[in-house]
Amino acid sequence: MTQSMLKTQSLPYCKGCGHDLIAKHSTKALEELGFAPLDVIMVTDIGCHGIIDKCMNTHTVHGLHGRSAALGAGIFFGLEEHDNKKVVVFIGDGGATIGLQHIMEAARLNLDITVVVHNNFLYGMTGGQTSGLTPHGFRTTTSFQGNPFDGYDICKLTHTAGARYVSRVLGIGDISADMKKAFDQKGFSLVEVMEICPSYGVKLNPKRKLKEIVESAGKEVGEWVNEDAAFKQQQGEKVENLLDKIPRVPMSFDRSLNTSKSLVLSGSAGEGVQLAANLLAKAAMLTGLHVTQKGSYPVTVGVGFSTAEVNLSPEDIHFHGISVPDMVLITSQDGLNHNKSRISQMTSGKLFIDSSLELPETGAEVIRHDFRGVGARNAAIHAILYFAKETGLVTQEAIYKALDLEGKSDKIPLDKIKKAMAG
Amino acid sequence: MHEKNNTNRVLIDGSRLIIESLARSGADAFIGYPIPPANLLYLYGSQRMDLMLSAPDEITTLQWMAGLSATGKLPVTATSFPGFALMIESVNMAYMMELPMVIVLVQRLGPATGTATCGAQGDLLLLNGTMSGGHPLPVLATSSFDDCWEMAAKASEVAIKLRTPVVLLTSKEEVMTQKSFDLAKLDDIQQTEKKWYSKTCCEYKPYKAGKDLVPDFLPVNQGNHQVRINASTHDQDGILQHSNKEAMDNTKRLEEKVRVRMDDYLFYDLDEEAKAETLVIAYGITAAAARDAVARMRASGKNVSLLTPKTLLPLPGQYAEIIKNYKQVVIAEESINNQLGSLLFGQQMPGNITFVGKMGKMIAPEEIIKEVRS
């Protein structure tokens, strides 16, 4: 004989509680659909609905208040097609309020899970407070005059978000056919079962009937369907090894530096500063040096300054911070503004600066050159090639080789730059 | 570490090493939101992990990770304080449920949003207080590119073997700065085996642990045994209980499990010098400056030792034992309140221990040297 989903028909709910009805008719529906208990992963959270776990023969996962839809989504993501499991999420109206975003996200992605909202119009376990799904006018322990606001229409929201199937039912009589329809969908389904909490709701709203409350709140009973296909895993292109594809930089030239040097290259966003710094670092590596490179720019990466810090050393570099650099290369006003303070602190070293810029105060030797003459986009690369020519700390040949390693040689107007340097 | 190999020199960042190491050691899913300065980890995670899901927020991230973990995956995320703050309740949930996962926490300047692109070391005390009840959350720290490789793999191993969330603590400058690096230095990484309950004869109790204090795992996507996973106080069957003995024993076991079993995961570097009476202590990004500072002091004739803790939480007793051997101890950390010192000594900081701290910028080697010589 097939094992029943429920361990017992005697469930731990108050007399007249709709949760009892939902549990019995949900499990009946799942059984009728042919699911064995261990085909079902029941995800619950905090609230009276969550105490059903101990009565279930299914797998049970009991999480945080309002998070069961997200937790159930995570389980769904981990399932394989052949697992043939059904993820069922039980949540209260309070939990649905807390975790509304999780429900929306699961509906938007059309994940193949079913969420059953136990809407008994208030937070029952915590003392009968108003939730986001409490109907307008319904009295709770925190709104004795009746809820002054409309509750969320969770059905409309999830339907609009993209759920495959949504229904609202009154928690009266045999609702197993309604539950069955929801469980049998391929894609996200949600059933909002309307009920009145017998402990708080009935006492505070005597003589009111469920149907009348639901109707007067404008929450029509019914079902809403989208024809969109269920979620399908779409992963981008994967690499088997993150270390394979990064360019190797073998020692190819004689070392040109015997002491550590720190360098700052700065210009404007979009003018190739970070690429130039990367080429300079790799050129140094080609001569056997150790390097570090880091960039800084405003949060709006497309405008303003772009600064790169590069350390070059014949030894292993541990600390890579640069306070007062040995050398600074400035190709634009943005770059100058961003580095004025540390340029002014330089008492030695070299400052390479575009000839269009006003000279800042500095103790460094100043070398002016028209870096921007080859076009703003190439100013930074022009600067490092000029720097190589003037200082010999890295060679221009090493920079050309670094360009080759990056596959960018044909994207830089090297002839134009060489001509500008010669001039 | 192997000998240097000229053909494997690359310019690389720590994020790439961390993700590759996590993938090789057993992580198979990356879930997250691309918060700075953890965004490179997100990028590489999306390229490398079998499954990548971009979550709308960090609460969802942790919940999805917990769900994946319940199906036998080892999910990974990377975040910084604002995201981690949102994750805390769900980290507690995963800890209580005993679901393995790795969270790479890239420290940036706080409080609150602070400065998104500025490094810091300000989250250690937060991590020490992450778990309600004072339960220890395992935290391993990187202090070099070698650690990005080795500690990331250990984080996976701890997560799987101890069935717990693990934090790999790092900071902006460690994961975003590019450095020349010889890949030939990297040791092979073995994937940590996920051992599952294999008996079919007997009743499976999801929270019944043996002497190793770790219950056998079974995922929810199998059909041999019923699995109950529970974030509330529960008994060995995974059924919610108020405070009966079995449930209290289970909650105590969670604390003991991490505290005792983390003895197997004690990682630190102690670079001792004979006759040294001074000890410099630094972890994370500041360890780099400390290495330079110690080398320079030694070159000038000063005898000095260096302790680089990598297992940060639960805080191993060995660090206090090492400290006892020195007349002068300098702790360097990129914060303004000596969080490691507070963990070690609380309000009773011994008089021979001083602190070098900073906010908004890395501590430079000269600052450590100055403190030692003061």
* Residue B252 within any structural domain of the chain: no
What is the DSSP annotation of A191-244? EEEE---TTTHHHHSTT--HHHHHHHTT---EEEE--PPPP--------S-TTT
- Residue B5 clears pLDDT 50, i.e. is over it: no
- Contact B332/A at CB under 8 A: no
B46 & B144 share domain: yes
Q: Dump pLDDT digits (tens) for B43-80.
A: 999 999 999 999 999 999 999 999 999 999 999 999 99
Residue B228 in domain? no
Do the beta carbons of residue B36 and residue B65 sit within 8 Å?
A: no
**Strand (E) or helix (H) holding A385:** helix A379-391
Q: State yes or no: pLDDT of B292 exceeds 60.
A: yes
What's CA B199's distance to the chain center, in Å?
33
Q: Which residues of A touch B59 (CB under 8 A)?
A: 67, 70
pLDDT the model gives residue A73: 98
Most B CBs within 10 Å, among A60, A309, A315, to test the B interface: A60
Tell me which of B137, B160, B184 is where a domain ends. B184
- Does the CB of B60 have a partner CB in chain A at under 8 Å? yes
Q: Would you say residue B250 lies in a domain? A: no
**Chain A nearest C-alpha distance from B198 (Å):** 17
| Closest to A346 measured CA to CA, from A359, A356, A355, A331 | A359
The rounded distance, in Å, linking the Cα atoms of B249 and B209 is 11
pLDDT exceeds cutoff 60 at B1: no
With cut-offs at 50, 70 and 90, classify the pLDDT of residue A2: low
The H-assigned helical ranges of chain B are: 14-25, 39-48, 58-70, 81-97, 124-128, 145-162, 172-176, 245-261, 286-299, 318-323, 339-345, 365-373
CA-based nearest distance A127→chain B, Å: 18
Identity of the amino acid at A332:
S
Please report where in the chains the tokens 């709308």 appear, as a residue: B56
- A vs B, Cβ pairs < 8 A, gives 217
Q: Which residues of chain A have a CB within 8 Å of the CB of B362?
A: 319, 321
Q: Kindly state whether residues B38 and B168 are assigned to the same domain.
A: yes
Asked whether the beta carbons of A196 and A18 are under 8 A apart, the reply is: yes
Q: Binning pLDDT at 50, 70 and 90, where does residue B2 land?
A: very low
- List chain A residues with CB under 8 Å of B47: 236-239, 242
Put simply, the answer to whether A61 touches B220 (Cβ < 8 Å) is: yes
Nearest neighbour of A281 by CB, restricted to B11, B69, B288: B11
- Kindly state the greatest CA–CA separation across chain B: 69
* CB of B346 less than 8 A from some CB of A: no
Burial of A125 (0-12, 13-18, 19+ CB in 10 A): middle
| pLDDT at residue B7 tops 90 | no
Give tens-digit pLDDT for A380-420.
999 999 999 999 999 999 999 999 998 888 888 889 998 88
Average pLDDT over residues A182-197: 97
Does B348 contact chain A (CB < 8 Å)? no
CA distance, residue A207 to nearest chain B CA (Å): 36
Question: Cβ(A226)–Cβ(A164) under 8 Å?
Answer: yes
Q: Do domains A18-225 and A261-422 have the same CATH topology?
A: no
d(CA A96, CA A90): 10
Distances (CA, A) of A7 to A23, A56, A58: 11, 6, 9
Statement to judge: residues B167 and B18 lie in one domain = yes
Q: Are B10 and B181 in contact (CB under 8 A)?
A: yes
Helix (H) or strand (E) holding A293: strand A290-296
- In chain B, the number of structural domains is 2
In CATH, what is the architecture of A261-422? 3-Layer(aba) Sandwich (3.40)
Q: Note whether A246 contacts B11, CB cutoff 8 Å.
A: yes
Q: Which residues of A fall within a CB distance of 8 Å from B219? A: 78
Query: Any idea where the domains of chain A sit in the sequence?
Result: 18-225, 261-422
Contacts of B56 in chain A (CB under 8 A): 101, 105
Q: What confidence tens digit (pLDDT) does each residue in A211-230 have? A: 999 999 999 999 999 998 89
CATH superfamily ID and name for A18-225: Thiamin diphosphate (ThDP)-binding fold, Pyr/PP domains (3.40.50.970)
Nearest to A264 by CA among A319, A306, A218, A299: A306
Tens-digit pLDDT profile for residues A332-383: 999 999 999 999 999 999 999 999 999 999 999 999 999 999 999 999 999 9
CATH code of the domain containing B366: 3.40.50.920
CB within 8 Å: A70 and B60: yes
Amino acid at B253: R
In this structure, is residue B137 part of a structural domain? yes
Tokens 């971009």 found at: B54
What does the pLDDT average to over A121-136? 95
Tokens of residue B114, six digits? 């602070």
Q: Using the beta-carbon criterion (under 8 Å), do B67 and A237 form an inter-chain contact?
A: no
Q: Give the pLDDT mean for A173-179.
A: 98
Q: Chain A contact for B213, CB < 8 A?
A: no
Rounded-to-integer distance, Cα B231 and Cα A391, Å? 64
Q: Which of B183, B221, B242 to mutate to test the interface with A (most CBs of A within 10 A)?
A: B221
Q: Are B279 and B132 within one domain?
A: no
- Same domain, yes or no, for B13 and B109? yes
What percent of chain B has pLDDT above 90?
A: 96
Choosing among B59, B87, B109, B220, which should be mutated to test the A contact, i.e. which has the most A CBs within 10 A?
Answer: B220
Q: Tell which of B164, B184, B204 closes a domain.
A: B184
Tell which of B123, B158, B184 closes a domain: B184
Domain hosting residue B83, numbered range: 6-184
Question: What is the DSSP secondary structure assignment for residue B94, as one 8-state letter?
Answer: H
Higher pLDDT residue, A1 or A251?
A: A251
| Cα A132 to Cα A166: distance, rounded to the nearest angstrom | 18
Comparing A88-97, A254-263, B94-103, B138-147, the range with the smallest average pLDDT is A254-263
Q: Is B16 on the interface with A (CB under 8 A)?
A: yes
Does residue B48 belong to the interface with chain A, where contact is any CB pair within 8 Å? yes
* Interface test mutation site (partner A, options B20, B176, B180, max chain A beta carbons within 10 A): B180
- 3-state SS assignment for residue A396: helix
How is residue A27 written in tokens? 């499990």
Q: Which of A242, A293, A316 to mutate to test the interface with B (most CBs of B within 10 A)?
A: A242
ipTM of the complex: 0.97
Residues 133-162 of B with CB under 8 A from A: 144
Q: What's the token pair of residue A112?
A: 């193949």
What CATH number is associated with residue B126?
3.40.50.970
pLDDT above 60 (res B4): no
